Structure 1
Amino acid sequence: MYFVIDGRLPSLNEYINAERSNRYKGAKLKKDTERAIKLYIARAHSLGTISKVSSYPINVSIRWYEKDSRRDADNVFFAVKFILDSLVSYGIIENDSQKYIKTIDNVISIDRDFPRIEVYINEPIRGYEKLRLSTN
């Protein structure tokens, strides 16, 4: 399952600056960002590329396509918080604790023409024991 967010999300530095400038500005930034992410989730849900997770723990892979290399990777990856909170709020995942999410993989690349974030959710494979070939 997957969904794509066009553009880029606020970095850790942007969030810290918002928090420092006004005590409500950081909360507004988070709320507005999550509202925008949920619109992309809703679109993907209507297209059938994402649905409610039924099997846990999941693995999340995120591919960050930045327009240039100006932002540090750790600042970019901070937005995982916004993505996971949006997935919980929309009802795609039950919770974003370690009980529900096993791994989060981040890969960052440059795409000057189409900056975006691709979010992939991989549920665990069940019943694979039946598919194994006997080595006897």
Structure 2
Amino acid sequence: MIPLPLATLNQYISAERTNRFKAAKIKHNATNIAKMFTVKAIREGVTFRWGVPLRFDWYCADKRSDPDNIAFQHKFVFDGMMAAGFLENDNWAHIVELNDRFFIDKKRPRVEVYEIGE
């Protein structure tokens, strides 16, 4: 479980167009948040078998962003997982399928990541 928002695609693009350093800061901050919560999950005993499909359950505060804009945040989640040592690489050998589902939770926006059994 990682709290949202990290940054939607539109927010990231806007930051890049304004100032590339602003976009780099967004990426750095979002990756660090994902890393922090990944470390917490590791301490709680969470493990994944990489090379299996993954499901992302996105719980958003509202419907202001389109689902594809929200799912852009995969990048930050995977980078955080790698920074935490949970994921070796976010390449084709490890990430073979992504399934996204979208929900509303005004009180606790977050993303939950699950491996899907074979």
Q: Structure 2 length as normaliser, TM-score? A: 0.90
Among 81, 88, 92, which residue is 1:98 paired with? 92
Q: CA 1:56 to 1:46, structure 2 compared with 1: closer, same or farther past 3 Å?
A: closer
- Establish whether residue 16 from structure 1 lines up as the match of residue 16 from structure 2: no
Q: Secondary structure at the match of 1:16?
A: helix
Match of 1:108 among 96, 102, 113: 102
Amino acid paired to 2:57 = R
C-alpha contact 2:56 2:114 (8 A) present in aligned 1: yes
Report the structure, 1 or 2, having the larger strand content: 1
Moved over 4 A (4+): none
Is there any run of 5+ residues in structure 2 with no aligned partner, and where?
A: none
Q: Quote the Cα distance in structure 1 between the aligned partners of 2:34 and 2:87.
A: 14
Distance in 1 (alpha carbons) for counterparts of 2:11 and 2:50: 33
**1:30 partner amino acid:** K
Larger Rg: 1
Gaps of 5+ in 1: 126-136
8 Å CA contact retained: 1:9, 1:76: no
1:45 is matched with 42
Give the paired residue count. 118
The aligned counterpart of 1:128 is: none
- TM-score if structure 1 supplies the norm length? 0.79
Identity %: 35
